[in-house]
């Protein structure tokens, strides 16, 4: 990393590399009955601190986001990443066209011009991740824990601020 890279930029780059290639995330919203998680397709944009999703206005998640903007987005792939942030409902036809994929026509049974479509932009605030990409470090961590030894230097769980 260049010497001018800030801790914030480094955190963004770390999360970007950990979630890259993981297409489906679990978006957790707050309903009147409690937490609800749903699989969502992450839009194909490089993570810059924001995540983008697509939904319809006639869904429970849309109405939940109107009441409570706090969300969590979880990724499980080569690593496990949990991102907490605030959701913003964005009605931007140009951005929608930029993110549109013809597969949505069948999946959502609609077209890109449907006024019922809305974007969800999640402004990431913090992220917690378990980097299991380093198999040696993970095995060392598990073996130390298994045999009751201290696991200093092998911690695979980290938390970063993305604000």
**pLDDT at residue 1, rounded to an integer:** 46
Summarize pLDDT for 40-51 with one digit per residue, the tens.
998 888 999 999
Which residues lie below 8 Å from residue 154, measured CB to CB, with a gap of 6+?
Answer: 137, 140, 141, 144
One CATH from 3.90.600.10, 3.30.70.100, 2.30.110.10, 3.40.50.10190 for 7-161: 2.30.110.10
pTM: 0.82
10 Å CB burial of residue 91 (0-12, 13-18, 19+) is exposed
Q: What would the pLDDT profile of 25-34 be if each residue is shown by its tens digit? A: 999 999 999 9
Assigned token pair, 66: 């109107």
Ranges 3-7, 34-38, 60-64, 123-127: which has the least confidence? 3-7
- The per-residue pLDDT of the chain, averaged, comes to 87
């Amino acid at each position: 990393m260049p010497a001018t890279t800030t801790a914030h930029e480094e955190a963004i780059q770390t999360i970007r590399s950990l979630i890259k290639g993981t297409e489906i995330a679990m978006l957790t919203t707050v309903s009147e009955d409690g937490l609800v998680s749903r699989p969502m397709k992450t839009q194909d944009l490089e993570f810059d601190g924001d995540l983008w999703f697509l939904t319809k206005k006639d869904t429970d998640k849309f109405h939940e986001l109107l009441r409570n903007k706090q969300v969590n987005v979880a990724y499980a792939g080569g690593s496990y990443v949990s991102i907490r942030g605030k959701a913003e409902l964005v009605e931007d036809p140009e951005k929608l066209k930029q993110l549109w994929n013809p597969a949505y026509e069948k999946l959502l049974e609609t077209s890109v011009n449907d006024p019922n479509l809305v974007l969800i932009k999640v402004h990431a605030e913090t992220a917690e991740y378990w980097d299991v990409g380093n198999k040696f470090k993970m095995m060392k961590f598990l073996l130390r824990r298994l045999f009751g030894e201290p696991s200093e230097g092998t911690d695979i769980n980290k938390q970063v601020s993305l604000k």
